Structure 1
Amino acid sequence: MNLGQARAAMSHYAFCGLPAEHLGELAAELATRWQARCESGRHERRGGSRRREAGAGPKYEMVFVGRLLVTLVHLRTGLTHAALGVIYGVGSSTIGRAIGEVRPLLAERGFAVPERPGLRLRLRLRTLEDVFAYAEAEQVTLRIDGMETQVRRPQAGRPGRRVFVSGKRKQYTIKTTTISDGQGRTLFSGAVRPGRMHDQTAVRTEGIAEQFRRYPDVKAEVDAMPVS
C-alpha cells in the first residue's frame, strides 16, 4: 500500500469510526466553524483586519477534511502524531496543530446519544451533567478512564515541562478523562491535562465526584472496580 492509498484508507469506518455519509455531513458542518475560528485567531494576532488580499500568504499543508480525519483516527486508534505525519507527508507538529484545532470543535458539538439516531441532531451529550442524567434515566453503567496520548517533548526550558512526564509510561504525554458506556461508546471527553497527573486527581478536578453526589443512583467502573 502506498501513501496515497493509506490516506484514502483513513476515511474508512475501521479507522475514523464514521460511515462515509456521516463523515461528509460532519465535515460540512464543522468546516465553516473551523474557518471562522482560524480567521478570528488571525485577526487577534495581527490586531486588525486583513492587510493582504484573500489567498495571499502561506498555504495550509493539510485541507480541513485531512485535519478532521487525522483527529478522528487519532482519537479512535491512538496512532501517534509521528505515524499520522508519515501517512500525510507532514511533520508531527502539523498533525498536533490540526488535532488541537479540530478537537475543540468536536467537543463543542457533543456526543450523540447511543441508539437514538432520530435524536442525533437535537439531543447530544455536551456536559458531564448531560452524561450522568442520561446514565440515570437509562440505567447505564459508566466506564471512566484516563486516556494517555504521547506528545512531542516540550521545548527545553519551558516552565512545568516535567509535569508532562507520565509516571506510568515514562514518556511525555497528555491525559484526557474519558467516559464511555458498557459497549465502549464514548459519551464524554474531558479537558486535556498533563500526563503526570494521577487518574484520581484528574477525576476530582473534572468534577465527576460532584456528579456522583447529584446522581447517587448512577453506577460506574473505574479501573475495573465498580463505584457509585
Structure 2
Amino acid sequence: MIVTSGWARTALSHRICTGIQRRRLSKLIAELAEPWTAREESRLRERRGHDRQRAAGAGPDHELVFTDRVIATLVVLRFQLPHAALALFYGVDRSTITRAVHEVRPLLAARGFAIPAAPDLRLRTLADVFAYAACHGVELRIDGTEVRVRRPRANRPGRRAFVSGKMKQNTKKATVISDEKGRTLWTGALRPGRMHDQTALKTEGICDLFERFPQVKAKVDAGYRGLAKQFPDQIEAPPLKPKKDASPKEVADWQAARTQQSSERIPVEHANAEHKQWRPLQRWIGRREYYDETHLAIAGLVSDRTAMR
C-alpha cells in the first residue's frame, strides 16, 4: 500500500483524530508557526556556530512539513498512538515522528489557557488566574486529579514518591481550576502521587495569592479543608459531618448543605472529565519526564474549546 503525506494529512486532520475542528486547527498551526521557526533557526544557528550563509529556504526540505508535524503531535496527544504507526501513514521513519512531537509538544504546553470573550488573552500562571478572577468577579472551583504512570525502576531514589495513598498506584497529580461553568482556567502543580493535593497547591504559592486578592472566592472539596480553615471568608469546603449523637434534623441539614456545596463545585469535576477524554490522561504509558508537558498541552487545547461556551 502506498500512502502519500497529502492523504495522511487529509485523513488525520479530522476532528476525530486531532480533537479539534479543522478551522481551529488552521488557526493553531498559524499560531505555532512563528515560535517553531524561531526555535528551529536558533537550533541551527547553535549547531553551525555562525549565521546562515544561504538564503532562507535553501537546502533540503523537511521530510515532514510543519503542518504535518502539528497534526502528528495532536494525534499522539489524542490517542497515545505509537510513533511507528504514524510514521507508516506519512511514509517516514519513526524517529521523524518522535522528533516532531518533541518539537511541537513544548509549544502547545507553553500556550497557556484560553478565557471567554478574550481570544488574544491567555492565562499561564496561577497569579494570572487570580488577577482574572478578581477583575471579572469569577468564583473559582479547585480540584486535584491524578493519572497512573510507570513505576520507577528498583533501587532508584524517590521510588516511593509516586505511590498514591488513594489509588494505591504509581501516579502523578495535577490541580485543575475552573469557573462556575466548568471552563478550564488553569492546570498545574504537577507533583508525584504521594504528595497531598493541598500540599501541592500550597507549594505554588496559593496562600499568598489569596492574601493579595481578598475578593477572590473558591469552592473546594474536603481535601482542601485546611485551606478553607485558613481563609474562611474566601474558600468554601463541604460542611463537617455531625457527631454520632447528632439529632436527625442536624443530620438532614448537614446532608442538604453538603449536597448543595457539591452541586456548586461539580463543574471542576466536569473539567477534569473533559481532560481525560484524551487517552494520555487516562493512563500515561510514556516516560514520566514528558508527562508534565503532555498534561499542559492537552489542558490548553481543551480550554480552547471550553472558552467558547
When the two structures are superposed, what TM-score results if normalisation uses the length of structure 2?
0.51
Match of 1:197 among 195, 198, 214: 195
Unaligned runs of 5+ in 2: 1-6, 89-93, 229-234, 236-309
Alignment of 1:1-228 (within 5 A): 11-13=13-15, 16-37=18-39, 40=42, 48=49, 64-65=66-67, 68-69=70-71, 81=80, 83=81, 85=83, 88=86, 101-114=103-116, 116=117, 119-121=118-120, 123-154=121-152, 156=153, 159-163=156-160, 165-167=162-164, 168-171=167-170, 173-223=171-221, 227=228, 228=235
C-alpha spacing 1:163/1:143, structure 2 compared with 1 (3 Å): farther
Whichever structure has more helix as a proportion of its residues is 2
Aligned length: 213
Is this contact kept in 1: 2:83–2:98, CA < 8 A?
no
Indicate the SS of the match to 1:143: strand
Cα distance in 2, alignment partners of residues 208 and 34 from structure 1? 32
Please provide the CA RMSD for this pair: 4.4
Partners of 1:225 and 1:32 in 2: CA distance: 42
Contact 2:189 2:201 in 1 (8 A): no
Deviation of 1:177 after TM superposition, in Å, equals 2.3
Mark the structure with the bigger radius of gyration. Answer: 2
The alpha-carbon deviation at position 96 of structure 1 amounts to 8.4
**Structure 1 residue 160: deviation in Å?**
3.6
CA distance in 2, matches of 1:144, 1:74: 28
8 Å contact 1:16–1:73 — kept in the other structure? yes
Gaps of 5+ in 1: none
Structure 1 residue 94: Cα displacement: 9.2
Q: Deviations over 1:141-177 (max 9, x none)?
A: 22223333344444x3685451552312503x33332
- Tell me by how many angstroms 1:106 deviates: 3.0
CA contact (8 A) 1:212 1:218 kept: yes
Structure 1 Cα separation of the partners of residues 98 and 143 of structure 2 = 22
Find the residue that maps to 2:25 and give its secondary structure: helix
Q: Per-residue deviation at 1:127?
A: 2.2
Paired residue type of 2:192: P
User: Larger relative contact order (C-alpha < 8 A, sep ≥ 6)?
Assistant: 2
Deviation string for 1:28-75 (max 9, x for gaps)?
22134235435645766x68469xx9878xx87x76556645765777
Shift in alpha-carbon separation, 1:166–1:15, aligned structure 2, 3 A: farther
Q: Would the aligned equivalents of 1:164 and 1:174 in 2 still touch at CA under 8 Å?
A: no
Task: Classify the secondary structure of the residue corresponding to 1:28.
Answer: helix
For the residue of structure 1 that corresponds to 2:203, the secondary structure is: helix
In structure 1, give the amino acid aligned to 2:110. E
Secondary structure at the counterpart of residue 18 of structure 1: coil
CA contact (8 A) 2:72 2:101 kept: yes
Question: Distance between the aligned counterparts of 1:40 and 1:101, measured in 2?
Answer: 13
CA-to-partner distance for each residue in 1:175-212, whole Å, 9 max, x for gaps?
33222222222111225433332211210111222211
Rounded to whole Å, the distance in 1 between the matches of 2:207 and 2:151 is 32
Contact map agreement 2:198 2:223 (CA 8 A) in 1: no
